[in-house]
Structure 1
Amino acid sequence: MSKTFDRFASIAFLLIGLLFVIESRSISQSAYGSSVGPNIFPTALGVILILLSIRLLFETTKYEHGERIKEPVQYVKFLIIFISAIIYAAILEPLGYVISTFLFLLIAFQTMERGKWISTIVIASAFSFGVYYFFAEFLGGSLPGFPQF
């Protein structure tokens, strides 16, 4: 573990969390007298990010000064996930949210840990369908649906 990296990362995420909270205040308040407005979600994310950053900052003080184990940087895995994220953004509209997210998660999970195909398929499909249903059907939001072949 790198104490310096973790410390800088916690400070960076703390600042990003503060930016989320500050900028979410500029989003217009709720319409039609509802107490839940569009600024609630980014504000809550900012607060969670701030709290997690503070926790990481305090945990870095507990690191022992023992010998450091140098882990190899995994460039190939990073490039596979990075390129698949770019492809995901490109195919989101034509294939729709559910199919493109399922494919992206399938590639990402298998890149990180090969094997376990059943659990990978179950988790990727549950997440894809679950988020789509929750956002598009339950909350009434808009996501690219299924393709019209």
Structure 2
Amino acid sequence: MNSTFDRYAGIAFFAIGLAFLVGSLSISTSAYGSNVGANIFPMILGAFLSLMSIRLIYETFRKPRAEKQKEDLDYKRFVIIFIAAVLYAYFLEDIGFVISTFLFLMIGFQTMQKGKVWVSLLIAACFSYGVYYLYVHLLDGSLPGFPSWLGGA
């Protein structure tokens, strides 16, 4: 890891997190058919990103200076996950939150670490359905459910 890069990345992500927080204040606090407004997720994500950035900046000052070493960038994994993220956003409405999130997580897990397919299946399934259940049933929010050809609304 490069401490200088991490420090500048932390500062940049902190600024992005603050922008999310400030921007979420101008979004409507309620949505039709939902008790949770559209401003909640950007606000939470902005706060989380800002806090993690502060932690990253703090860690760069705590870590002793390491010798310079050249790291190879893994473009193949980056491209796979980037394409998966674009496809996730594109198909979210068509195939629903649970299925698209499950597929995205499976692609991400298997891209980062091949093998352990059953563990990846279990984590992706529990996370995608768990978030859907928490947001839709407990918080009365609205997310695209299952597609109509699977019996969804």
Where on the TM-score scale, by shorter chain, does this alignment land: which range?
0.7 to 0.9
Residue 101 of structure 1 is matched in structure 2 by 101
Identity score, percent: 56
Q: Following the alignment from structure 1 to structure 2, what is the Cα–Cα distance between the partners of residues 2 and 50?
A: 20
State how far apart, in whole Å, the 1-side matches of 2:52 and 2:21 are.
14
String of CA shifts for 1:29-85, please: whole Å, max 9, x gaps. 67xxxxx97656544543443333223222212232332333321111111111111
Deviations 1:86-122 (A, max 9, x none): 2222222221111111111111100000000111000
Q: For 2:141, what is the secondary structure of its paired residue?
A: coil
TM-score (norm 2): 0.80
Check 1:84–1:10 CA distance in 2 against 1; reply closer, same or farther (3 A cut).
Answer: same
User: Any idea what SS the aligned residue of 1:68 has?
Assistant: coil
Q: Is the 8 A contact 2:10 2:57 kept in 1?
A: yes
User: Which one-letter code corresponds to 1:10 in the other structure?
Assistant: G
Q: Which amino acid aligns with 1:9?
A: A
The alignment's TM-score, normalised by the length of structure 1, stands at 0.82
Greater Rg over alpha carbons, structure: 1
Q: Distance in 2 between matches of 1:40 and 1:122?
A: 28
- How many residues align? The count is 145
* Counterpart Cα distance in 1 of 2:114 and 2:29: 46
Match of 2:18 in 1: 18
- In the alignment, which residue of structure 2 is the partner of 1:73? 73
Give how far 1:3 is off. 1.5
Amino acid in the other structure paired with 2:8? F
Matches within 5 A, 1:31-110: 42-110=42-110
Whether 1:136 and 2:141 are equivalent positions in the alignment is no
For structure 1, the 5+ residue unaligned runs are: 31-35
Does 1 or 2 have the higher relative contact order (CA < 8 Å, sep 6+)?
2
- The answer to whether the 8 Å contact 2:88/2:101 transfers is yes
**Aligned in 2, Cα 1:47/1:81: closer, same or farther, shift over 3 Å?**
closer
CA contact (8 A) 2:29 2:38 kept: yes
Match of 1:5 in 2: 5
In the alignment, the residues of structure 1 paired with residue 127 and residue 9 of structure 2 have an alpha-carbon distance, to the nearest angstrom, of 28
